[in-house]
Amino acid sequence: MTVESWKSIFDLATVALLFLTFAAGAGVLITGNIINSRQKQQLQTFDSDLTAAKSGLAKQQERAAKAEAQIASAQADAAEANLQIAKANERTAGLEVQAAQLRVQLSAQQRRSNVLLDQPIRSRFVAHIASFKGQRFDISACGLKESEIAYFSMSMWSTLEGAGWTVGANDTKSPSCHPGVLVVVDPNASQRTRDAAHILLLALVEAGLAPNNSIVSEIPPPPANADAPGTWYLHSSHPDSLVILIGTHP
């Protein structure tokens, strides 16, 4: 093969290599553009998804903040409700104490005052003492400032008067507060007055106003210093006027 032939071969090879180089460069450029376009599209999609995620997160955070605010408001309302309940319970407890006190007072008043106002008891009481019409009596109540005792005294007074008994001068003095109702007579009292005192005491015991072991006692003589200020003693308005001492718990 001649040199000219080899040269022609090399020229053709050079042309072929240049074509291949151009084709390779064009291929690299075209494929690079395609890849860049795809990457740009993926980046845009990512940015869009990221923006949507951020927006969703912001909405979730906003809802969470609203929920926390509602929880805080509900807790404040619950605390206020608990405070009102506590105050209501306190008022209720106070009212229950007052009601219990009123029940005790009412029970005491019923024991002290209303027993003689009960018609059956009043009838039996009067029946016991009716045979001693004209009997004189005095009433002395311990603690006249207590309205219940004062009312009981008036009830006793009206019952005895209704049975025909006679009120004395009512100038007796009670030396001390005592339980129940006591009956005392003057040392110089007649037998009829003593009998009336015993019958009256039996009626008081039956009505539940005096203990079962109650006895009729005599009025002690005044003390030596009877005229001294603050000295308390019993004094009947008449020897035949028995004295009814109404104590703290008749």
Same-domain pairing of 46 and 133: no
Q: Span 191-204, mean pLDDT?
A: 91
**Any idea which of 81-90, 109-118, 199-208 has the lowest mean pLDDT?**
109-118
189 and 89 both lie in a single domain: no
Q: Tell me: do 107 and 126 sit in the same domain.
A: no
Rounded to an integer, the average pLDDT of 133-156 is: 75
Report how far apart, in Å, the C-alpha atoms of 154 and of each of 104, 116, 138, 139, 167 are.
22, 10, 12, 9, 12
Residues 220 and 182: beta-carbon distance below 8 Å: no
In this prediction, residue 72 has a pLDDT band, given cuts at 50, 70 and 90, of: confident
141 and 97 share a domain? no
Which of 112, 146, 173 is where one domain is finished?
Answer: 112
Q: What is the pLDDT of residues 14-56, one digit of tens each?
A: 877 777 787 777 777 788 778 888 878 887 887 788 788 788 8
DSSP H helices, the chain, are 3-112, 119-129, 147-162, 191-206
Pick the residue with more confidence: 92 or 131? 131
Q: How far is CA 214 from CA 160, 189, 199, in A?
A: 20, 19, 12
* Structure token digits, residue 32: 């690079």
Cα–Cα distance between 21 and 23 in angstroms, integer? 5
- pLDDT over 80 at 150, yes or no: no
179 plus 100 within the same structural domain: no
Q: How many domains does the chain have?
A: 2
User: Where does the pLDDT of residue 133 fall: very low under 50, low under 70, confident under 90, or very high at 90 and above?
Assistant: very high
State whether 160 and 237 are in the same domain: yes
Residues 192, 136: Cα–Cα separation, whole Å: 11
- Last residue of one domain, picked from the residues 87, 112, 137: 112
- Which of 112, 147, 165 is the last residue before a domain boundary? 112
Of 85 and 121, the one with more pLDDT:
85
Predicted TM-score (pTM) of this structure: 0.49
Q: Are residues 97 and 146 in the same domain?
A: no
CA distance 69 to 124: 77
Domain span holding position 207? 120-246
Q: Give the residue with greater pLDDT, 210 vs 199.
A: 199
Least confidently predicted of 41-45, 150-154, 157-161, 177-181: 177-181
Q: Average pLDDT in the 155-172 region?
A: 79
241 shares a domain with 201: yes
**Looking at residue 221, what is its pLDDT?**
67
Average pLDDT, integer, range 146-169: 79
pLDDT for residue 113: 47
Name, of 37-41, 101-105, 185-189, the range with top average pLDDT: 185-189
